[in-house]
Structure 1
Amino acid sequence: MDAAAFLGLVPTEDPKRFRLPVTTGICTGGRFLFGGAGLAAGVVALEQASGRPMVWATAQYLSFARPPAVLDIDVNLAVEGNQITQGRVVMSDNGQEIITVNAALGARPIDIEGQWAEMPNVPAPDECRGREFRNDPSATISSRIEERVAMGRSPRQMDGTPGDGRAALWARMPELLEMSPAALAVLGDFVPFGVSQSTGRMAGGNSLDNTIRVANLVPTEWVLLDIRIHAIAKGFAHGLVHLWAEDGTLLATASQSVKIRMWR
């Protein structure tokens, strides 16, 4: 299964228009579209419309989309250069904008490359415990993502003691056969997990935005989500996620600002 099938993205006769049925399998426990799935749908639409791989994409979340809505996805390739395409997507529900995505796509032949970020030293996936959820994750996107805690506390350990701003999860999506920018867009939406880990309190949040920057795609079953909360102020959290392959390759980086929510 590729990312388009995982999301349920439906092409139309217009190569720059797609539809996304909002189903529980791409929704959160709050029964609205998971932000990472929305960004991923925009990425697939842009890649298919342009014929180029995504380099960078950012989503702004304007409103919620809930089942059984069907989102219209309209692609605008604003600039199509020799090597780079700049494009945008508007995702709407009956004319109401839900998500906007801006992106750059392409590849450039150049003999300069390197990786300077370092993967944290954490236990392997088979040595880590499964993530505990405060609510039943069945019939949500969480039921389609296997998560294991490499660095972090369980909900029962949230006693108000602040952490150091770091957390890490191993994650895999068994339905997907290959790593792709869209798959990384889904997995990049995990800054909210770091909110409770950083504060020591039962808290999370709703994404205001999500940006994904792709470095190198390599085959990997598990992806390490290296989550870093930089600051929490005025009711918002700001942080990033480094996404690592099992062999230490930096696949991508993701960043978000999150509206804090306290859980009961």
Structure 2
Amino acid sequence: MSDPNVSSPTPTVTSTVTSTVTSTVTGLERFDLLDLQPTGNATSFRLPVTRQLSTPFGFLYGGSGIAASAEASERVSDRPLQWITTQFLGSPGPGDVVDIEVHVAVEGRVTTQTQVSGSVDGRLVFTSLCAHNVRPAGDEASFADMPTVPPPADCPEFAMPFDVAHDGSFFDHLERRMARGVVAGDAIGRPQTPPIGIWARLTAHPTGSAATQGFIADMGPLVVCATLGIAPGGTSLDNTIRVVDPRPSEWVLLEMTPDGFHRSVGHSTVRIWSEDGRLLGIAQQSAIIRTSHHDAQA
């Protein structure tokens, strides 16, 4: 989503998929990879669950659910999203259609708060709470510093974390490079010292809007597992995205830190940095750390 008070050129991104940026009349960007479809009701949408929005194990990627809630809420409120927290209640798969409903709980002069639900055949699969803000920009400040890491071109490619076919899944729409530490198989038996850094970019869209930040930063279980030195795997319970600066960046650095682990649930924080050192957003996630669902869905 574009800040109407800041003039910033959109980065040039080489596209390998047919996903584009489409602006509404208010300037809010749409994340077309979602293919979020309107209905006859202005507060209702349809999200066809496709392979490209799903994990290699055949269920909707959490980042896709967050992104869909964020964009639906922006379309209804006609205001840029500042904060979203999403709770995951089910695991729809390719072929399912998620019916998304947006309820405007409060609409003020400059702030709107909404409640979003996603259901398949009447069964809830995720819910979100959202806050939107149209106060003027120009008062930006960040109280943390971006870690010093090599640029993306000098970092090794991200190794696929699972021994399963991933062609066509959401993995194909992300390019990732390891900037600091290791994850997945490289970290098994080698507990990592956080933070872990991953450069990431969407193959056909810059990252900045709430939807794109939610899509790209849903990776908390990776850093929890790497810090424990165990095989990667997690089922998200929830994820919160706090949008700090929505001005887009082609590459973003994910500064990933585990916060705690108890009763098989891992908590983590991911700071999202632009290439020029701006803090774009913060993702905070809780997930059941496990791999049992991999065999069940493979």
Query: Which range is displaced more, 55-64 or 126-135?
Result: 126-135
Q: Distance in 2 between matches of 1:235 and 1:88?
A: 29
Check conservation: 2:185, 2:232, Cα contact below 8 A.
no
TM-align CA RMSD: 1.6
- Which consecutive segments of 4 or more residues in structure 1 shift more than 2 A? 109-113, 134-137, 154-159
1:162 and 1:4 mapped to 2: Cα distance? 36
Tell me by how many angstroms 1:178 deviates.
Answer: 6.0
- Which residue does 1:40 correspond to in 2? 67
Q: Structure 2 vs 1, CA of residues 226 and 45 (structure 1 numbering), >3 Å: closer, same or farther?
A: same
Q: TM-score, normalised by structure 2?
A: 0.84
Aligned 1:1-264 pairs, distance under 5 A: 1-2=20-21, 3-109=30-136, 112-133=139-160, 134-135=162-163, 136-153=165-182, 155-177=184-206, 179-262=208-291
C-alpha change, 1:110 and 1:182, in structure 2 (3 Å) is closer
SS at match of 2:284: strand
CA offsets 1:232-262 (integer angstroms, 9 cap, x no match) = 1110100110000000000000000010014
Q: Note if contact 2:85-2:240 (Cα within 8 Å) is conserved in structure 1.
A: yes
Letter in 1 for 2:280: L
Does the 8 Å contact 1:218/1:249 carry over to 2? no
Distance 1:143 1:198 in 2: 26
Amino acid at match of 2:52: G
After superposition, the Cα gap between the structure-2 partners of 1:129 and 1:110, relative to the gap in structure 1 and judged at 3 Å, is closer
| Structure-1 separation of matches of 2:118 and 2:218 | 18
Unaligned 5+ runs, structure 1: none
Kindly indicate whether the alpha-carbon contact (under 8 Å) linking 2:268 and 2:286 is maintained by their aligned counterparts in 1.
Answer: yes
Structure 1 residue 219: Cα displacement: 3.0
Residue identity matched to 1:240? T
Question: Residues 31-51 of structure 1, C-alpha deviation per residue, up to 9 Å, x if partnerless?
Answer: 100001101000000000010
CA contact under 8 A between 1:75 and 1:87: conserved in structure 2? yes
Any conservation in 2 of the 1:239–1:255 contact (CA below 8 Å)? yes
Matches of 1:67 and 1:34, distance apart in 2:
11
2:31 touches 2:212 (CA, 8 Å); kept in 1? no
- What secondary structure is seen at the aligned counterpart in 2 of 1:130? coil
C-alpha distance in 2 between matches for 1:139 and 1:5: 16
Question: How has the CA–CA distance of structure 1 residues 155 and 105 changed in structure 2, closer, same or farther, with 3 Å as cutoff?
Answer: closer
SS at match of 2:250: coil
Q: Does the 8 A contact of 1:77 with 1:85 survive in 2? A: yes
Cα pair distance change 1:254/1:248, threshold 3 Å: same
- The code of the aligned residue for 2:82 comes to V
Structure 1 counterpart of 2:261, one-letter code? I
Residues 62/119 of structure 1: CA separation in 2 closer, same or farther (3 Å cut) = same
The AA in structure 1 aligned to 2:181 is G
Give, in angstroms, the shift of residue 155 of structure 1. Answer: 4.2
The residue matched to 1:203 in structure 2 has which SS? coil
Q: Structure 2: which 5+ runs fail to align?
A: 1-19, 22-29
How does the TM-score come out when normalised to structure 1?
Answer: 0.95
Structure 2: how far apart are the matches of 1:18 and 1:170?
32
Contact residue 236 and residue 258 of structure 1 kept, 8 A:
yes
Q: Is the 8 A contact 2:208 2:280 kept in 1?
A: no
